[in-house]
Amino acid sequence: MRREWQVDGVRREALLYLPKQSKTQPTPVVFAFHGHGGTMTNATRMFPIHTLWPEVIVVFMQGLNTPGKLTDPEGKKPGWQNAVGMMGDRDLKFFDAVLASLKADCKVDDKRIYSTGHSNGGGFTYLLWTARGDTFAAMAPSASAASQNLSLLKPKPVLHIAGENDPLVKFAWQKATMDVLIKLNGCATGTAWEKDKNCTLYPSATGNPVVTAIHPGDHSYPKQAPAVIVKFFKEHSRK
């Protein structure tokens, strides 16, 4: 279903998947963010979380035209703010409004709220971790780097998806982010993840593991990613 919100006088919209039980019993929530130039409609196809995990609420928010750090400097295409305070925190305020309305209309499981996103949407997932970290149980960014937000993150379970031949968000940048996350979460040496042998699990004694899903591709979003993300999210609830 499509919903609208007024945020600082601006009309914002999102597509929502609401399972039947969301009105009667605590239900997890997954936020899924499109990349720069994407749309909420495209996001429903890119992140088919609702088909893989039909018991959760899934939120596909629509970005506004935004200057891109790597492309579209004039901001002719939709995207997300990439730093606290940017554009009056319009997207953080939008997120707050959406979550508040979900809590008013549904029975949200506060311990099982998650975020994923690709490229600029992955960057916004990292920003949400920075600015709204206590809200989330786990994060799953793709083809993105935390950059300026890294020093502000607190330990949290995270699955990072990266292409070794990404020409836009260089793999070296993403690896630097993953290395910091492994250290931040106090992780041990990585081993194959039992849920998906193509991923590496870095276990954490504090319950904040890092899983890396590194593929040989480019900046494109791998088709197998949503299934891996669902497996990861199902393992984690907020303490």
Query: Domain 2-234 sits in which CATH superfamily?
Result: Alpha/Beta hydrolase fold, catalytic domain (3.40.50.1820)
Q: Is the pLDDT of residue 147 over 80?
A: no
Reported confidence tier of residue 94, pLDDT bands at 50, 70, 90: very high
Identify the band that residue 151 occupies on the pLDDT scale cut at 50, 70 and 90. confident
pLDDT classification of 21: cutoffs 50, 70, 90:
very high
Q: Span 79-85, mean pLDDT?
A: 92
pLDDT for res 120: 95
Query: What pLDDT shows up at residue 72?
Result: 81
For position 49, what pLDDT does the model report? 97
Q: What is the pLDDT of residues 27-69, one digit of tens each?
A: 999 999 999 999 999 999 999 999 999 999 999 999 999 987 7
What is the secondary structure of the chain as a DSSP string? -EEEEEETTEEEEEEEE--GGGGTS-EEEEEEE--TT--HHHHHHH--HHHH-TTSEEEEEPPEE---SSS-TT--SEE---STTGGGGHHHHHHHHHHHHHHHHS-EEEEEEEEEEETHHHHHHHHHHHHHGGG-SEEEEES---GGGGGG-----EEEEEETT-TTTTHHHHHHHHHHHHHHTTB---EEETTEEEEEEE-BTTS--EEEEEES--SSPPTTHHHHHHHHHHT----
Give the model confidence (pLDDT) of 171-185 as tens digits: 999 999 999 999 999
Read off the pTM: 0.96
What pLDDT shows up at residue 203? 98
pLDDT above 80: residue 239: yes
Span 118-147, average pLDDT: 96
CB distance 119 to 168 below 8 Å: yes
pLDDT at position 70 over 80: no
Tell me, what's the pLDDT at 74? Answer: 82
**Statement: residue 166 has pLDDT above 90:** yes
Mean pLDDT of the chain: 95
